[in-house]
Amino acid sequence: MFIQHKQLKSLNVPAGKVTHLHTASSRVQLAFSGYPPQLCQAYLLQISGSNKVLIVVAFYLAESQSSIFFVPKFGELPAEDAEEVYEEGYSFVESMGFVLTETDYHLLAEHKKQSYWVALPICQPPKGTKVVKPAVVTKAGDETKKLRLRSRKSLGRFFASM
C-alpha cells in the first residue's frame, strides 16, 4: 500500500542511486487533492542505498508544474523485498490508467544517467514554492499522522544514508 508523502516536492537523489525507472508512455488526466484536474505524467522508481531500498511512485502535474509522491506505508525496505513492492507500485500506477514502460536507465553510462535524471520534471523543485518543514504529530490517537511521520522519518534517514 502506497501513501502520499506530502512534504516531498522533488527528488534530490544522486542519479547513481536510482536502480530502476519506469515512465508512463502518455499522460493521463487526474485530479489530486488541492490541484485542479490536469494531465499528469507517471514515474515508478527504485532508489537503493546501504542495504535498503525505497520504491517511489511519482506524478508530475503538467499545468501546476508540481510533483506528487507516494511511498510504501512502511517506508524503506530490505533489498530482498524490493521486487514485490515494486510490482505493487507498478499495479498502483497502472490502476490509474497509465501504461508504464522500462527506460533502460540502469543500462546507461554514468554520465548519461546524470543528464537524464536531472532533466526529469520530478527532480525539479516546484516553481515559486517555499520549503515546508515537517508537521509535528499532536494527537496521539491519530494513526494517519503517525504513519505519515514514520514514513517521513524513514525517507529522511534513507536519503541521509546516501
Q: Which residues of the chain have pLDDT under 70?
A: 128-162
Residue 73: name the closest of 157, 8, 138, 146 by CA: 146
pLDDT given for residue 86 in this prediction? 93
pLDDT given for residue 159 in this prediction? 57
pLDDT given for residue 74 in this prediction? 85
Q: What are the residue ranges spanned by the domains of the chain?
A: 2-160
pLDDT given for residue 26 in this prediction? 93
